[in-house]
């Protein structure tokens, strides 16, 4: 599905690539229609024409995958696929399906099956029972694979790699929440783990196993690294795992292997996971970027988020990275429940005092499936009237949500004060907050 249309397509959907390899490995034919490579996105009629001219006249199974922000797309495409492939089993998987399960049958009546969580264990069952499952409205999963080393590699041939390789994973031109002082000419993304051992209240990990944290071995990961280096001649690899650094033993085993490649790379981690020894070893192995979820520099807001960070520890981590030549790219959230202007001001001061180049902030967005959503659900429904209407309005978390002229503001600031602070954030004028 198309996502983050304000940014160039720069992250290969490797999960779908693994499923494509799995299907082919079972002896079936498999096509992938990647709608996210188009800017602007294709219209529904263009998608229809593409399916009718460039794809097979018949499919046994059509799988729709997408984040929670893709409900509008999935509603249209399920209807289109039902028209073009009336006998196919139509399945929804990914973030949207994982969060809503059977509710999706009400919103997308053309669906036969919904898959919650990861698909590798479930997809072979669907392929073996397509006729029996037609019209069943059955929900499968979650059924996470325990051994990530046993999964097939990404089917890179399924994607328009020329487009993805040309758009940096992170950096000024990436159009996302990252900033880097360096430029990469050919970058690629890899994922080596599922789930996260932490439980931040705003974070939804239903798609990848929640807190059931699993990771590929250092040996499997370096094999994937060498494959993309040899095949695509990349000069930068972004490990886009939710938390690449959580397992210290895997990290320690991986770093000497990665150092031999001579490739620059980056990852995501937590500010409580970095120290001088770790930073020095990572930099020696080619790491030049770590994306951290700072979220807030106010102790009260951090506690409400269940971040398990504190501003002093966060400050030490940022300075350690800077000292070792690693860019600490911190993301931030404004408007979390209970946040006052003074609390937001503490975050703005932290960014300015530490010389952080990424000055943007996400808007606190309550995604269904999170503890944050349960906390504010009544307020959301009072503004939107229905859960479906709210989900249809979800977009990239930089968007300020409004419905029928009403601002969805969870903070302790008045709507007027929130709008004023948001203008300063969008202008990069944090000193005015």
- Residue whose structure tokens are 């439980």: 199
Residue 71 has pLDDT above 90, yes or no: yes
Tell me the pLDDT tens digit for each residue of 356-395.
Answer: 988 999 999 999 999 999 999 999 999 999 999 999 999 8
Tell me the pLDDT tens digit for each residue of 330-359.
Answer: 999 999 999 999 999 999 999 999 999 889
Average pLDDT on 104-114 reads 98
Tell me the pLDDT tens digit for each residue of 11-59.
Answer: 999 999 999 999 999 999 999 999 999 999 999 999 999 999 999 999 9
Q: How confident is the model at residue 39, as a pLDDT?
A: 96
Q: How confident is the model at residue 210, as a pLDDT?
A: 78
Closest CA to 205 of 140, 332, 292, 118: 118
Q: Are 145 and 15 in contact (CB under 8 A)?
A: no
Kindly compute the dihedral angle of the four CA atoms of residues 223, 224, 229, 232, in this order, to the nearest 10 degrees: 140
Closest CA to 196 of 141, 272, 247: 247
Beta bridge partners of 406: 403
Residue 207 has pLDDT above 80, yes or no: no
**Confidence tier at 278 by pLDDT (50, 70, 90):** very high
**Confidence tier at 176 by pLDDT (50, 70, 90):** confident
Q: What is the pTM of this model?
A: 0.96
Q: In the chain, where are the structural domains located?
A: 14-140, 168-432
Query: Which CATH number, 3.40.30.10, 1.10.10.10, 3.65.10.10, 3.80.30.20, labels domain 168-432?
Result: 3.80.30.20
Tell me the pLDDT tens digit for each residue of 232-247.
Answer: 999 999 999 999 999 9
Looking at the structure, give the CATH architecture of the domain made up of residues 14-140: 3-Layer(aba) Sandwich (3.40)
**End-to-end Cα, the chain, rounded Å:** 37
**Confidence tier at 106 by pLDDT (50, 70, 90):** very high
- Please tell me the distance from the alpha carbon of residue 346 to that of residue 364, in angstroms, as a whole number: 17
Q: What average pLDDT does the chain have?
A: 96
Q: Are 36 and 2 in contact (CB under 8 A)?
A: yes
The percent of residues in the chain predicted with pLDDT above 90, rounded, is: 92
DSSP string for residues in 61-91? EEEEE--GGGHHHHHHHHHHHHHH-TTSEEE
DSSP string for residues in 179-217? --SS--SSEEEE--EES-S---TT---GGGTTT--EE--
Tell me the pLDDT tens digit for each residue of 282-312.
Answer: 999 999 999 999 999 999 999 999 999 999 9
Average pLDDT on 60-71 reads 96
**Confidence tier at 177 by pLDDT (50, 70, 90):** confident
Residue 103 tokens read as: 């509710």
The percent of residues in the chain predicted with pLDDT above 70, rounded, is: 100
Residue 174 has pLDDT above 90, yes or no: no
Q: How confident is the model at residue 179, as a pLDDT?
A: 87
- H helices of 295-370, where? 299-305, 311-323, 341-353
Q: Are 190 and 224 in contact (CB under 8 A)?
A: yes
Which residues lie closer than 8 Å to 377 by C-beta, 6 or more apart?
Answer: 366
DSSP string for residues in 102-145? THHHHH-TT-SEEE-S--TTTHHHHHHTHHHHTT--EEE-----
């Amino acid at each position: 599905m198309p996502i983050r249309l304000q940014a160039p397509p720069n992250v290969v959907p490797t999960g779908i690539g693994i499923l494509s390899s799995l299907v082919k490995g079972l002896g079936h034919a498999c096509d992938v229609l990647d709608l996210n490579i188009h800017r602007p996105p294709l219209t529904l009629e263009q998608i229809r024409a593409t399916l009718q001219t460039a794809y097979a006249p018949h499919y046994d199974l059509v799988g729709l995958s997408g984040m929670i922000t893709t409900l509008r797309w999935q509603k249209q495409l399920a209807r289109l696929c039902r028209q073009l492939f009336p006998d196919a089993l139509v399945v929804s998987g990914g973030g949207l399906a994982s969060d809503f399960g059977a509710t999706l049958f009400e919103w997308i009546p053309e669906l036969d099956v919904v898959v919650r969580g990861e698909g590798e264990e479930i997809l072979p069952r669907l392929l073996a029972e397509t006729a029996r499952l037609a019209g069943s409205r059955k929900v499968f999963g979650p059924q996470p694979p325990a051994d990530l080393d046993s999964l097939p590699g990404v089917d890179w041939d399924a994607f328009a790699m020329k487009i993805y390789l040309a758009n940096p994973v992170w950096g000024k031109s990436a159009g996302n929440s990252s900033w880097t002082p360096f430029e990469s000419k050919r970058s690629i993304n890899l994922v080596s783990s599922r789930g996260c051992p932490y439980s931040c209240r705003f974070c939804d990990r239903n798609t990848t196993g929640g807190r059931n944290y699993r990771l590929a071995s250092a040996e499997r990961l370096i094999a994937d690294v060498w494959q993309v280096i040899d095949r695509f001649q990349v000069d930068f690899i972004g490990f886009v795992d939710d938390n690449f650094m959580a397992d210290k033993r895997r990290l320690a085993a991986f770093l000497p292997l990665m150092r031999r490649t001579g490739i620059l790379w980056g990852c995501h981690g937590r500010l409580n996971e970095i120290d001088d020894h770790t930073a020095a070893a990572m930099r020696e192995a080619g790491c030049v970027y770590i994306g951290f979820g700072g979220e807030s520099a106010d102790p009260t807001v951090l506690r409400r988020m269940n971040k398990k960070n504190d501003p002093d520890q966060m400050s030490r981590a940022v300075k350690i990275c800077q000292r070792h030549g690693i860019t600490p790219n911190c993301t931030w959230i404004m408007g979390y429940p209970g946040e006052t202007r003074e609390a937001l001001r503490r975050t703005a001061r932290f960014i300015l005092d530490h010389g952080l180049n990424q000055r943007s902030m996400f808007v606190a967005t309550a995604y269904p499936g999170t503890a944050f959503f349960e906390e504010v659900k009544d307020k959301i429904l009072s503004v939107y009237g229905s859960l479906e209407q709210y989900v249809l309005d979800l977009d990239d978390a930089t968007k300020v949500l409004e419905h029928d002229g009403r601002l969805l503001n969870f903070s302790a600031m008045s709507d007027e004060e929130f709008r004023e602070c948001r203008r300063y954030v969008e202008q990069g004028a944090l000193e005015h907050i």
